[in-house]
Amino acid sequence: MLIRRIVLGTLGVLWLVPVYLLLANASKLPAEFGDYGLWEPGTLGGLWANFAEAWDRGKLSGGLLSTTVYAIVSPLIAVIVGAAAGFSIVALRLRHGFTWFVVIFASSIFPLQMILMPLFVGYAETGLFNTRVGMIVVYTVIAVPFSAFVLRNFFTGIAHQVFEAAVVDGASTRRIFAQIYLPMARPALIAVFILQATFIWNDLLLGLTLTQSAEVRPIVTALSALQSTYGGSAMSTVLAGGLLVSLPTVVLFLATQRVFTRGLSLGQF
């Protein structure tokens, strides 16, 4: 037990070292950045000043609003669609259900880099390029296969007699799904929602490819604009911006860690 605590404590300290370096260097004023050593922390006033500089210069307010919309709407649609697919395959015993499951999940095999060019061309031709609707659509489509995978595995663990008993009691298929299966799958739904919301929040590739204006682009894409080849912000400002952008996901995990852990175990990842 003592050895286990020592190992876990050592690993925890090692994990916190990059966090300390981020905080220490993000709190240094740009004019003083070169005067400090790597391990020397700045001041709280410097941290707030860098926060304000990153927020104003990076125009993060528009990206924050857009990313919040993407990170809520797309995972919400994806978990409902994924749950419906899993319910159809497992509870309704859809004909060739496993084949449909493979078809749905197979879409996640290919890396995003392979489909960027046709995706860009399709968005340009349909008018979805640089629109919030277009970003919601692409994020939803990307999130559905994983959602269907997890929810299908979760519903497999529910005895089919539950569905049969509800049918005998006169419940419709829609009512069984909405009032029995979805409440039972709440931990798995929340876990999938958190994972997909975090992926969307941290996305850079799709934001760079499919958006252009500050009002539509995700916040990480807006943050990347702070560090450009010409006229880029100071390193301390960029670090403060990265810290500012990462705070919502940290708060989300801390607030939902119990449900998230339970969903991971029950969802059979």
Res 264: pLDDT: 64
- CATH number of residue 131's parent domain: 1.10.3720.10
User: What pLDDT score does 178 carry?
Assistant: 92
241 close to 58: Cβ distance less than 8 angstroms: yes
Residue 136, domain extent = 60-266
Q: Residue 146 has which token pair?
A: 């994983």
Is 154 a domain residue? Answer: yes
Structure-model confidence comparison of residues 113 and 84, the more confident one: 84
H, E, C per residue of the chain: CHHHHHHHHHHHHHHHHHHHHHHHHHCCCHHHHHHCCCCCCCCHHHHHHHHHHHHHHCCHHHHHHHHHHHHHHHHHHHHHHHHHHHHHHHCCCCCCHHHHHHHHHHCCCCCHHHHHHHHHHHHHHHCCCCCHHHHHHHHHHHHHHHHHHHHHHHHHCCCHHHHHHHHHCCCCHHHHHHHHHHHHCHHHHHHHHHHHHHHHHCCCHHHHHHCCCCCCCCHHHHHHCCCCCCCCCCHHHHHHHHHHHHHHHHHHHHHCHHHHHHHHHHCCC
Q: What is the largest CA-CA distance in the chain?
A: 76
**Per-residue confidence (pLDDT) for residue 58, from 0 to 100:** 67
The answer to whether residue 14 sits within a structural domain is no
Please tell me the pTM assigned to this model: 0.85
Residue of 100, 77, 197 lying closest to 152 (CA atoms): 100
- Residue 21, domain member (yes or no): no
* Assigned domain for 55 exists: no
| Whole-number Cα distances in Å, 34 to 163, 180, 250 | 66, 61, 29
Q: How far apart are CA 250 and CA 252, in angstroms?
A: 5
Mean residue pLDDT of the chain comes to 85
Q: How far is CA 212 from the centre of its chain?
A: 21
Model pLDDT, residue 229: 45
Would you state the pLDDT for residue 265? 63
The dihedral through the CA atoms of 46, 225, 74, 115 has a sign that is negative
Whether 199 is in a domain gets the answer yes
Q: What percent of the chain has pLDDT over 90?
A: 28
Structural domains counted in the chain: 1
Whether 51 maps to a domain, the answer reads: no
Residue 232 binned pLDDT confidence (cut-offs 50, 70, 90): low
Residues 105, 98: Cα–Cα separation, whole Å? 10
Domain-located, residue 49: no
Rounded to an integer, the average pLDDT of 38-64 is 81
Domain contains 68: yes
- In this model, does residue 266 exceed pLDDT 70? no
Q: By the 8 A CB rule, do 63 and 221 touch? A: yes
